[in-house]
C-alpha cells in the first residue's frame, strides 16, 4: 500500500494550481528539518478558545443530537447519562438520577454491540435474559419492586435493537459523530464537523502553543516550522489568542475484504488526523475518514469541497468552536 507524500494541507492552495511542490514538503513526524516549501504546506487554524464572548452555544454542531450531548456534558458532565436516560425513560430530565455504574454498563454494551454480527447480538440478549433470571431467583427480588430509576437490562432481541441499535433514543445512533453525506458517489464527512468533534470531546491535542525555539524537539508542535506558524497566527491581530492546530492528510486505494479475485472493486479513502499527542500517534482516536468511494471514480468534487472547507477556516472568525477541555468556546 502506498501512502500519499502529502503530510499537511495548505489553506491557500490545496486542490488548486500552485507553485508548491507538495512531495518535496513530505517529512517524518519526528524531524524538525523542513524545506521552505514545507512552511507553505503547514497552516494554522485559528479557533477562539481562551475566552467567551457571551453565553456558551453549540451551533457549530449541525446535528441536534450532537449539540444535545455536548451541552449536557458541558453543563453537568451528563452526556452519556442523557443518552441512557432517553433510551430507558424517554426523557433526559432524569439523567442525573441514574447511577453512574449503570450508565457505564449501557455505554459498554453499546460499544460491544457495534462490533457484533446480528446473530451474536441475538445470542447476547439470550445471555442477558438468563443472567437476570438467575440473579433474581437467587436474591428473591420482585422485579416490580425495584427502584424507579434503575435501568433495564436488555433481555431480548427487541430490547437490544431498541436500546442500542435502531430505536429513537438508541445509544449508537445518538452518540455524537460527524454527519455523513453522499457527494458524487462518495461518502463525505465535513472537515469542519471533524474538528468540532475532536474539540468537543476535549481530547488532549498537540497544540502549537509558542514561537519560542526549543533545543530538543519531542513532537511536531515543537519544531521550527511550527514556531513560525504560531508567529504568523499571533501577528494576524485576532481579537483573542488563537488555537493553532495542524492536520495530517492521507489517501489511498484498497481492496474490500468481501471481494473475490474475479470480482474486485477497488475502493478509495481519504482521512485526516488532527493534532495527535506523541503518545497517541498510532491510535485511531484522532483520525477521521472524510471521504470514501470507488477508486475508479473521479475524486475531484470531494477534493474541491475539502479544499474549500480548509479555506473556510480563515473566514469563520465569528463562528465559535466548543472546546471540551477548557469548557469554553
Vertex 33 angle, CA 30 and 34, to 5°: 110
3-state helix, strand, coil in the chain (%, to 5): 40, 10, 45
Does 326 map to a domain? no
Same-domain pairing of 156 and 209: no
Residue 328 belongs to some domain of the structure: no
Q: Kindly state whether residue 33 falls inside one of the protein's structural domains.
A: yes
Locate all alpha helices (DSSP H) within the chain, ordered by sequence: 36-41, 64-76, 79-89, 100-113, 118-139, 157-160, 171-174, 191-200, 224-234, 300-312
Which 3 state secondary structure label does DSSP give 244? strand
* Residue where a domain stops, chosen among 174, 196, 211: 174
- Give how many domains the chain has, as a whole number: 2
Q: Based on the fold, state whether residues 164 and 205 are members of the same structural domain.
A: no
What pLDDT was estimated at residue 1?
41
Domain end among 151, 174, 197:
174
Grid coordinates belonging to 152: 433495564
Q: What is the pLDDT of residues 76-98, one digit of tens each?
A: 899 999 999 998 998 889 999 99
| Co-location of 307 and 214 in the same domain | yes
- Are the CB atoms for 248 and 273 separated by under 8 Å? yes
pLDDT of 33-69, one tens digit each?
Answer: 333 343 333 444 444 444 444 566 788 888 888 988 9
| In a shared domain, residues 161 and 188 | no
Give residue 190's pLDDT: 93
Whether residues 169 and 282 share a domain: the answer is no
N-terminal to C-terminal alpha carbon distance within the chain: 40
Give dist(CA 101, CA 99) in Å, integer.
5
Helices (H), ranges, 177-280: 191-200, 224-234
Q: How far apart are CA 240 and CA 50, in angstroms?
A: 7
Residue 14 lies in a domain: no
Residue 202: CB atoms within 10 Å: 16
- C-beta of residue 41 within 8 angstroms of C-beta of residue 8: yes
199 shares its domain with 254: yes
Residues 187 and 300 in one domain: yes
- Ranges of residues in the chain whose predicted pLDDT is under 50: 1-53
Contact 205, 221 (CB under 8 A): no
Task: Decide if 4 is inside a domain.
Answer: no
Are 184 and 42 within one domain?
Answer: yes
Q: Which of 140, 174, 208 is the last residue of a domain?
A: 174
In-domain check, residue 210: yes
Residue 8 domain-assigned (yes or no): no
In a domain, residue 76? The reply is: yes
Closest C-alpha among 204, 177, 210, 202 to residue 280: 204
Residues 189 and 293 both lie in one domain? yes
Q: Are 220 and 305 contained in the same domain?
A: yes
* Structural domain that includes position 168: 64-174
The secondary structure of residue 162, as a DSSP letter, is I
Domain shared by 128 and 267, yes or no: no
- At 242 the pLDDT is 74
d(CA 80, CA 265): 39
For residues 82 and 176, what is the distance between their CA atoms, to the nearest angstrom?
12
Q: Are residues 144 and 203 in the same domain?
A: no
Q: Give the DSSP letter string of 276-295.
A: --GGGTTSGGGEEEEEEEET
Q: What pLDDT is recorded for position 29?
A: 36
**Partners of 323 in the beta sheet?**
328
pLDDT at position 270: 95
Amino acid at each position: 500500500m502506498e501512502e500519499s507524500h502529502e503530510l499537511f494541507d495548505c489553506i491557500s492552495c490545496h486542490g488548486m494550481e500552485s507553485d508548491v511542490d507538495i512531495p518535496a514538503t513530505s517529512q517524518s513526524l519526528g524531524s524538525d528539518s523542513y524545506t521552505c516549501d514545507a512552511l507553505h504546506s503547514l497552516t494554522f487554524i485559528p479557533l477562539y478558545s481562551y475566552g467567551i464572548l457571551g453565553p456558551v452555544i453549540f451551533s457549530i454542531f449541525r446535528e441536534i443530537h450532537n449539540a444535545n450531548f455536548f451541552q449536557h456534558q458541558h453543563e453537568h458532565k451528563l452526556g452519556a447519562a442523557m443518552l441512557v436516560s432517553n433510551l430507558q425513560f424517554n426523557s433526559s430530565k432524569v439523567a442525573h438520577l441514574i447511577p453512574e455504574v449503570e450508565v457505564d454498563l449501557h455505554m459498554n454494551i453499546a460499544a460491544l454491540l457495534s462490533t457484533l454480527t446480528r446473530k451474536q447480538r441475538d445470542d447476547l440478549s439470550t445471555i442477558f435474559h438468563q443472567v437476570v433470571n438467575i440473579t433474581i431467583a437467587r436474591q428473591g427480588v420482585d422485579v416490580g419492586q425495584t427502584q424507579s430509576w434503575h435501568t433495564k437490562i436488555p433481555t431480548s432481541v427487541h430490547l437490544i435493537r431498541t436500546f442500542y441499535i435502531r430505536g429513537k433514543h438508541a445509544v449508537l445512533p445518538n452518540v455524537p459523530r460527524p454527519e455523513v453525506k453522499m457527494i458524487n458517489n462518495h461518502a463525505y464527512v465535513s472537515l469542519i464537523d471533524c474538528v468540532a468533534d475532536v474539540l468537543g470531546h476535549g481530547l488532549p491535542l498537540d497544540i502549537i502553543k509558542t514561537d519560542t525555539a526549543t533545543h530538543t524537539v519531542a513532537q511536531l508542535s515543537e519544531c521550527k516550522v511550527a514556531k513560525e506558524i504560531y508567529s504568523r497566527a499571533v501577528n494576524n491581530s485576532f481579537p483573542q489568542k488563537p488555537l493553532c492546530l495542524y492536520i495530517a492528510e492521507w489517501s489511498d486505494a484498497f481492496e474490500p475484504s468481501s471481494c473475490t479475485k474475479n470480482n474486485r472493486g477497488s475502493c478509495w479513502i481519504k482521512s485526516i488526523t488532527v493534532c495527535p499527542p506523541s503518545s497517541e500517534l498510532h491510535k485511531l482516536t484522532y483520525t477521521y475518514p472524510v471521504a470514501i468511494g470507488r477508486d475508479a471514480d473521479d475524486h475531484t468534487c470531494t477534493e474541491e469541497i475539502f479544499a474549500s472547507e480548509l479555506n473556510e477556516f480563515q473566514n469563520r472568525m465569528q463562528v465559535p468552536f466548543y472546546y471540551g477541555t477548557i469548557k469554553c468556546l
